[in-house]
A = this chain, B = another copy of it.
Amino acid sequence: MPQYTLTYFDIEALGEPIRMLLSYGKIPFTDNRIDFEKDWAKFKAAMPMGQLPILEIDGKVMYQSMAISRYLAKQVGLSGANDLENYEIDNAADNINDFRAKIASAAYESHEEAKQHKYEILKKETIPFFLNKLDKIAEENNGHFALKKLTWADLYFTGLINYLNFIAQEDLLANHSNLRKVVENTHAAPGIKEWVAKRPKSNR
């Protein structure tokens, strides 16, 4: 069996959908966690685009977490049965990624005044807009994001949610029961259930 090594920081965030996909597929992997403070500076320049996560499969280095997730989903049976089904999953994942990017643009803003302004817009407009849209999609898909069943879009959202809560500075699921169902359904899936029970604790 090929050797899988995921290298990421000691948090969930963009590494967690990949850890969940591997766990769902019962694929053993080395969960290599880089100490951001101590070790990241010396790793960064060697990374393909100066970023993590990377996934090594028998030494082949893969990067870009969504591209990796889509690839792994094919291997473990969490993608669609045809091109149109795969479009539906990709569409959902892109919506989630747009939401992530909007929150991140406030969280990582370095100019203090601009940052405050971004969080105001986020709280007043962007977060309610996305949560209502995403919750409705989850409702229409019976507690999933696409195809009324578990797909990698659900794992992508569920893997990211603690991190999204952290950078949004609020509990994004508090008033959206269909999004909570996506997370519950994903956490209940075989392989993921065991992973979530044993994974290192993280607040993001």
Interface residues of chain A, those whose CB is within 8 Å of chain B, are: 48-50, 62-64, 66-68, 70-71, 74-75, 83-84, 86-87, 90-91, 93-95, 98, 101, 105, 109-111, 113-114, 117, 129, 133
Q: Do the beta carbons of B98 and A101 come within 8 Å of each other?
A: no
Q: Nearest B residue to A129 by beta-carbon distance?
A: B50
Assess whether B74 is in contact with A91, with CB atoms less than 8 Å apart.
no
Interchain CB contact under 8 A, A66 and B90: yes
Q: How many copies does the complex hold?
A: 2
Contact partners of A117 in chain B: CB under 8 A: 110-111
Decide yes or no: A98 and B49 within 8 Å by CB, A62-B87, A83-B74 being known contacts. Answer: yes
- Besides the known contacts A49-B133, A70-B90, 9 further A-B residue pairs in the complex with CB atoms under 8 A apart: A48-B133, A49-B95, A49-B98, A67-B90, A67-B91, A70-B86, A71-B84, A71-B87, A111-B114
> Would A86 and B111 be within 8 Å (CB), given that A49-B98, A63-B91, A66-B94 are in contact?
no
A-B contact pairs, 17 of them (CB 8 A): A49-B98, A62-B87, A64-B94, A67-B87, A67-B90, A67-B93, A68-B87, A71-B83, A71-B90, A74-B83, A75-B83, A101-B101, A110-B117, A111-B111, A111-B113, A113-B113, A113-B114
- Chain A's interface: helix, strand, loop or mixed, by majority? helix
Known contacts A71-B84, A83-B74: A64-B49 contact under CB 8 Å = no
Partner pick for A95 among B64, B84, B98, B113, CB 8 A cutoff: B64
Residues of B within 8 A of A70 (CB): 86-87, 90
